[in-house]
Amino acid sequence: MEHLELFFKSIFIDNMVFATFLGMCSYLAVSKKVSTAVGLGAAVIFVLAVTVPLNWLLDQYILRDGALAWLGPEYADYDLSFLSFILFIATIATMVQLVEIVVEKFSPSLYNSLGIFLPLIAVNCAILGGSLFMQSRDIQTLGLATTYGIGSGIGWFLAILAIAAIREKIRYSNVPAPLRGLGITFIITGLMAIGFMSFGGMLTGGDEEEETTPVAEVTPVKEMTQEASDELVLTTNEKE
């Protein structure tokens, strides 16, 4: 159940593209045709599914505070978490290279469809972002980390597939000249993100966990002032 919840949460609610804007560069650059978008999307799912669990292991047994305790009691005090950026990106870059070699060797047809995208992926923010979010959200088990990786990959895949389909169609529409290409893609993505926001309360109906994004921090303030101003209106009405 926990897995299922995390899976759907990472696809829809915390969608990589629409909720956190990760991987926007390749999302905008490679979404002109559906077929290439599918190739890149599949490669992202694959690489996320491999690197998130790997980085989870790294984080759990090497990086976090006290993680080195398995080496012996004298190592229990080390906190290497400042090294996480460099280790995560190194893992990702090596994994991508390794995957490329393995796929080329064993499945040339898959290599032909994925191959050109794999080097692009090493510097895709969605991949590093997946690992960093996995670390900052404190995901508990290896299984959950794998689920999170696959789920966010599928979320990214859905997003790039949808925008590529829309962009193929929009070629036949009469878009105002200065908005053509990049501008209209931004605005469509914004509208799609508004649509995806409606998944927000879907799973538990009131997931009270605090998100770390600035957006979530700011909105309660707004609601509070709204309530406060309502109260103010009430009190003034009572006075009258």
Give the ranges where the chain is alpha helix by DSSP (H). Answer: 2-8, 16-20, 24-29, 34-58, 84-106, 108-114, 118-122, 125-136, 142-170, 182-197, 214-239
133 binds other proteins (CB under 8 A): yes
Q: At closest approach, how far in Å is the CB of 167 from other proteins?
A: 9
Phi, psi of 199 (to 5 degrees): -75, -10
Compute the CA torsion angle 176, 181, 183, 184 (nearest 10 deg).
70
Q: Residue with structure tokens 């759990």?
A: 60
What is the identity of the amino acid at 167? R
Q: Between 102 and 179, whose beta carbon lies closer to other proteins?
A: 179
Query: Which residues lie closer than 8 Å to 67 by C-beta, 6 or more apart?
Result: 59, 60, 61, 78, 80
With CB under 8 A as the contact rule, the residue among 24, 42, 62, 142 that binds other proteins is 24
Q: At closest approach, how far in Å is the CB of 191 from other proteins?
A: 7
62 binds other proteins (CB under 8 A): no
Q: At closest approach, how far in Å is the CB of 23 from other proteins?
A: 7
CA angle (40 as vertex; 38, 41 as ends), nearest 5: 60
Q: At closest approach, how far in Å is the CB of 109 from other proteins?
A: 25
- Enter the tokens of residue 62: 């090497």
25 binds other proteins (CB under 8 A): yes
123 binds other proteins (CB under 8 A): yes
- For the segment 141-200, give every residue that binds other proteins (CB under 8 A): 171, 176-184, 186-187, 189-191, 193-194, 197
Residue 92 CA to its chain's centroid (Å): 15
18 binds other proteins (CB under 8 A): yes
With CB under 8 A as the contact rule, the residue among 31, 124, 146, 152 that binds other proteins is 124
Per-residue exposure over 200-217, b if at least 16 CB sit within 10 Å of its own CB, e if not:
eeeeeeeeeeeeeeeeee
Q: Between 124 and 147, whose beta carbon lies closer to other proteins?
A: 124
Nearest alpha carbon to residue 65 among 77, 53, 75: 77
234 binds other proteins (CB under 8 A): no
With CB under 8 A as the contact rule, the residue among 140, 207, 225, 234 that binds other proteins is 225
| Contact characters 87-106, other proteins, x per CB under 8 A | --xx--xx------------
Q: Where does this chain bind other proteins (CB under 8 A)?
A: 18-25, 28-29, 82-86, 89-90, 93-94, 119, 122-125, 127-129, 132-133, 136, 171, 176-184, 186-187, 189-191, 193-194, 197, 212-215, 217-219, 221-222, 225, 228-229, 232
